[in-house]
């Protein structure tokens, strides 16, 4: 730091630093391919970055100060309210003084007014976004009050971004990726040839079988939750899960799944999933019991 350590900073220098930080923040948001937003517990949008216009076609000025519910799909309002207000049981008693952050990760359909060629996948004017961040709370101690302390809900701070496109022609398929098409219950009807290199299974060995048959039993519930979100909202990114391999062991996988609609009837037709294999085979040669008895209980009424 040399002679600058402890030196007084002029107003113009502070302005230059602030401008540089804003520019850096803008570059980071562009790289992130998403937008940052801050929402109060009553769903009022306190701040949203300019990059929201790239994802939704809605300007920062238009969104700021309005209710998030004005832009969220009506069927997602109840879930959004829970995300903004629901707290873990016992938090009041167990929390320490100061600020508390509760992790939030969710999928929400938001209004999108971009031209169709730029909007990506939209259904009825809404686009599925994956949002992750935290609910921020502040802990107060109250003197001479009937309560020992209280929690103030400061709101949600999160990043929202679009899911990858569903069309195989829009995605560059790397050597650690494979694609499958499946019925709405995840019974596979087509797989590309890369699956054999990555898992040992030939495509014909997996066709007419459900994905659940080849998922590590400890990860079935994670996949089930993602499946439910997919049927409700049309797109989903799964958590990491273990896909069992033919020769024993498993690979860690993350899937980006989309429901494709029939062009004539507009009814849900099938699921297209692009799958990223993230590791080499673990525990090669160890046979893990398949979760073959898992039965998908979702009905077609749960779908879009």
In whole angstroms, what is the distance from residue 194 CA to residue 177 CA? 7
pLDDT at 59: 93
Relative to beta strand 188-191, strand 235-237 is unpaired
Would you list the domain boundaries of the chain?
34-162, 168-302
Alpha helices in the chain (DSSP H): 11-32, 52-56, 60-63, 77-85, 91-94, 116-119, 194-199, 203-206, 220-233
User: What tokens does 177 get?
Assistant: 């990726």
Say what the alpha-carbon torsion angle 78, 83, 89, 92 is, to the nearest 10 degrees: -120
The predicted model scores a pTM of 0.74
pLDDT tens track of the chain, all 304 residues?
A: 444 444 555 666 556 655 555 666 666 666 667 899 999 999 999 999 988 998 899 999 999 999 999 999 999 999 999 999 988 876 655 555 677 889 999 999 999 998 876 667 777 889 999 999 999 988 776 665 555 567 788 999 999 988 876 555 466 778 999 999 999 999 999 999 999 999 999 999 999 999 999 999 999 999 999 999 999 999 999 999 999 999 889 999 999 999 988 777 667 789 999 999 999 988 776 666 554 444 444 544 444 4
What does CATH list as the number for 168-302?
A: 3.30.450.20
* Topology match between the domains 34-162 and 168-302: yes
Task: Judge whether 102 and 88 are in contact, CB under 8 Å.
Answer: yes
- Domain 34-162 sits in CATH at 3.30.450.20
Task: Give the C-alpha separation, 62 to 68, whole Å.
Answer: 11
């Amino acid at each position: 730091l040399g002679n600058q350590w402890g030196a007084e900073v002029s107003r113009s220098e502070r302005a230059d630093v602030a401008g540089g930080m804003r520019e850096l923040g803008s570059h980071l948001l562009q790289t992130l391919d998403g937008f940052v937003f801050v929402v109060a517990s009553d769903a009022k949008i306190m701040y949203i970055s300019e990059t929201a216009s790239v994802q939704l076609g809605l300007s920062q000025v238009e969104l700021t100060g309005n209710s998030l519910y004005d832009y969220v799909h009506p069927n997602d309002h109840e879930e959004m309210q829970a995300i903004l207000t629901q707290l873990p049981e016992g938090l009041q008693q167990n929390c320490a003084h100061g600020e508390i952050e509760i992790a939030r990760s969710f999928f929400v359909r938001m209004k999108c007014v971009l031209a169709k060629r730029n909007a990506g996948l939209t259904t009825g004017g809404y686009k599925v976004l994956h949002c992750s961040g935290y609910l921020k709370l502040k802990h107060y101690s109250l003197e001479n009050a009937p309560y020992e302390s209280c929690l103030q809900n400061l709101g949600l701070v999160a990043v929202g971004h679009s899911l990858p496109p569903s069309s195989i022609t829009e995605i560059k398929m790397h050597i650690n990726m494979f694609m499958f098409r499946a019925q709405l219950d995840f019974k596979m009807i087509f797989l590309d040839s890369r699956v054999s290199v990555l898992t040992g299974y030939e495509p014909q060995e997996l066709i007419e079988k459900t994905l659940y048959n080849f998922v590590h039993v400890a990860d079935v519930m994670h996949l089930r939750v993602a499946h439910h979100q997919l049927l409700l909202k049309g797109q989903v990114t799964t958590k990491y899960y273990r896909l069992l391999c033919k020769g024993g062991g498993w690979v860690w996988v993350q899937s980006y799944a989309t429901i494709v609609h029939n062009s004539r009837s507009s009814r849900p037709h099938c699921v297209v999933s692009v799958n990223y294999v993230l590791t080499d085979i673990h525990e090669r040669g160890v046979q893990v019991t398949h979760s073959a008895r898992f039965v998908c209980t979702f009905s077609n009424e749960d779908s879009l």
